[in-house]
Amino acid sequence: MKKIVIGITGASGTIYALDLLKELHNAKDVETHLVISPWAKENLAVEETGYSMQDIGHLADFIYDARDMGALIASGSFKHDGMVVIPASMKSLAAIATGLGDSLIGRAADVTMKERRKLIIVPRESPFNQIHLENMLKLSKMGVEVIPPIPAFYNRPKTIQDIVSHTTMKILDHLDISNELSPRWEGLRETKNSLRGNTQ
């Protein structure tokens, strides 16, 4: 069974975290360990999702208090298959990049890196300033995967859910969890025709 750690921080874009949790909840043989920061809870109450903490509780197998530094996921001896910080606020990004570990999300990310396990950051800010970019570059050089929730339009999204699903698909791909949530790039029609012509 895959064990996935999810950290939700106080950036806008909680909808991305909820969609990922839904898909992981529906996936076979996946166990989720969830941490929600205090500001993420505030966003949940006022933001775009319409979900409550109780709703989220049904989507995760284990939920930890963000202040519980003695939690299972705070130790490198807890073996898991990846951690996703989604959405990642710039404060959380900075804390992870500097190894601050002042919250359970930061600590869990820190031990994920030190144990050389997969860490995915989904930063939600615009525009990025130099500090944001330097922190992302620093983490990328350490093997952290940075996946901003940038929409694609080759799949011709018609709804907000289509746009969100594309990001969820990318994250699941990087967690090695099979999915077909969003249409994938199949190549330019002109390229296909050109190749077909060269074979005649």
- Residues of the binding site: 10-12, 37, 89-92, 124, 154, 170
Distance of alpha carbon 99 from alpha carbon 5, whole angstroms: 18
Distance of alpha carbon 19 from alpha carbon 168, whole angstroms: 7
SS3 for 157? coil
CA 185 to centroid of chain Cα atoms: 21
Sheet of 82-88: strands edge to edge?
62-65, 30-36, 2-8, 82-88, 119-123, 145-146
Contact 81, 3 (CB under 8 A): yes
Place of tokens 């990025």: 128
Q: Which residues are annotated as a binding site for FMN?
A: 10-12, 37, 89-92, 124
Q: Which residues are annotated as a binding site for dimethylallyl phosphate?
A: 154, 170
Distance of alpha carbon 63 from alpha carbon 187, whole angstroms: 42
SS3 for 9? coil
